[in-house]
Amino acid sequence: MHNYIPRELEGTLLEVSGQFPVVTVLGPRQSGKTTLVRRLFPNHTYVNLELPDDRLLAAADPHSFFKRYTEPLVIDEIQRVPALLSHIQVLVDEDRGRKGRFILTGSQQMDLRAAVSQSLAGRTALLKLLPLSLAEIEASGRHSDRDDHLFRGLMPGLYEEPLPPERFYANYYQTYVERDVRQFANIRNLIAFETFVKLLAGRVGQIVNLSALSGSTGVSATTLGQWLGILEASFIAFRLPPYFENFGKRLVKAPKVYFVEPGLAAYLLGIREAAQAAVSPSLGGLFENLVVVEALKSFHNRGVEADLFFYRDSGGLEADLLASMRERLIPLEIKASRTFSPEFCKGFPRLKALSPKIAEGIVVYAGDREQDFKGSRVVNFVHTAAALQRA
């Protein structure tokens, strides 16, 4: 595809395919998994388990399936027939020396991650591919400002083809609710579920109180917790946990919630053009969402788990994001403003006083002027990942 944007995960994926017989790439629908694996492994046989005939064959007669689709093999959407994993285990164990034999993709991790870990422990590398990073978009020569990124989002399909974001996200969300949720979660009250998802979109970057949302949806907090788990398993939302350490403070104990795709959150909030993002009451939360996801991708694209937290205590001291790296904690202050203010850095000295592990802070904002200010680094949001790697 001539509009293909190279992915940062490419090097990691090729590296682990030379180390493991199986590589499993998890990620949201339409995050570019199929395009990526087919580009990197053009000589592998390819099969997609979304196709009913192939799915039926895989489920009913795995032996015939593997005779028809020979190794090396890419199997797309493996969560559709998770029973294949035990057959792959048997095939791999017959010859453990050959690497890169099976490349699996999955867009749903409700039971799949556990099944992969159980059947293919020690046999597979597990990677995550999220939608495009800001760094990938910039490296491709495409430049967008804050509001356009929030409105358009980061799905590869919106950069490879001239699709209107509103139409893309309407279809994306409808497909997700009608297919994935019904298939994997058996949610009967879809109207309440959709209300819950929209309420979460209005609370990105905030500590979410499920008991309070229970009154707005008419659904128990316990059920809402289960629904949030389904959103996480489907790569729609994720929780950012608070950082706990005995600093002698009363700490906030509930997580914040973000969307994996900020453009979907903006769509659910009714933002239909970039200019609307600038005046939205949710601008701060959406921008924070964009930056937190960029930090998350900077870890996943290197094939490592992300150790990300936030900090808030009863005295009002907080860090929007704490990145645990090399036995240090890097605090990030995230501001949607295009103009830098010294006020953005005022919490860093107090944070550093809490623990010797807390390093110099990074201010991530929407302005173009990058600088060092009293030991803190001030960067444009597009350079979040680079600033973290340099920290």
* Under 8 Å between Cβ of 201 and 268: yes
pLDDT at 143: 84
pLDDT for the residue 182: 75
pLDDT at residue 92, rounded to an integer:
96
Strands (E), 255-298: 256-259
Give the separation between CA 125 and CA 103, rounded to whole angstroms.
10
pLDDT for res 249: 67
- Report the pLDDT value the prediction gives residue 156, as an integer from 0 to 100: 96
- 74-114 pLDDT, tens digit each: 999 999 999 999 999 999 999 989 999 999 999 887 778 78
Expressed in angstroms, the distance from the first to the final Cα of the chain is: 36
Angle at 248 (CA atoms; ends 242, 254), nearest 5 degrees: 20
Q: Are 99 and 20 in contact (CB under 8 A)?
A: yes
The pTM of the full predicted model, rounded to 2 decimals, is 0.95
Half-sphere exposure of 319 (CA within 13 A, CB side): 29
C-alpha distances (whole Å) from 251 to each of 40, 190, 205, 321, 357 are: 46, 35, 17, 15, 18
So what's the pLDDT on residue 108? 80
Range(s) of the chain covered by CATH 1.10.10.10: 134-282
Distance of CA 142 to the CA centre of its chain: 21
Strand, helix or coil for residue 155: coil
- Take residue 330 and report the two structure tokens written for it: 């890097």
Instruction: Name the residue among 242, 26, 235 with its Cα closest to residue 129.
Output: 26
pLDDT (0 to 100) of residue 1: 46
Chunked into runs of 10 residues, the chain (391 residues) has average pLDDT values of 86 97 95 97 97 97 98 96 95 94 90 83 94 96 92 94 92 85 80 94 95 93 94 94 77 90 97 97 98 97 94 91 94 98 96 94 97 95 95 84
Asked if residues 14 and 40 have their Cβ atoms less than 8 Å apart, the reply is yes
What's the CATH code, domain 134-282?
1.10.10.10
Q: Are 204 and 285 in contact (CB under 8 A)?
A: yes
pLDDT at position 248: 61
pLDDT at residue 111, as a whole number:
73
How high is the pLDDT of residue 246? 66
Give the phi and the psi of residue 37 in degrees, each rounded to 5: -70, -35
Whole-Å CA distances, 23 to 12, 16, 68, 81, 247: 11, 7, 21, 17, 41
Query: In the chain, which ranges are E strands?
Result: 22-26, 45-48, 73-76, 102-106, 124-128, 237-240, 256-259, 308-312, 318-325, 328-334, 362-365, 371-373, 376-380
> What is the location of CATH 3.40.50.300 in the chain?
9-128
**Contacts (Cβ under 8 Å, ≥6 apart) of 183:** none
CATH architecture type of domain 9-128: 3-Layer(aba) Sandwich (3.40)
Q: What span, in angstroms and rounded, lies between the C-alpha atoms of 238 and 231?
A: 7
> Which tokens sit at 36?
């990526």
Residue owning tokens 């001291």: 317
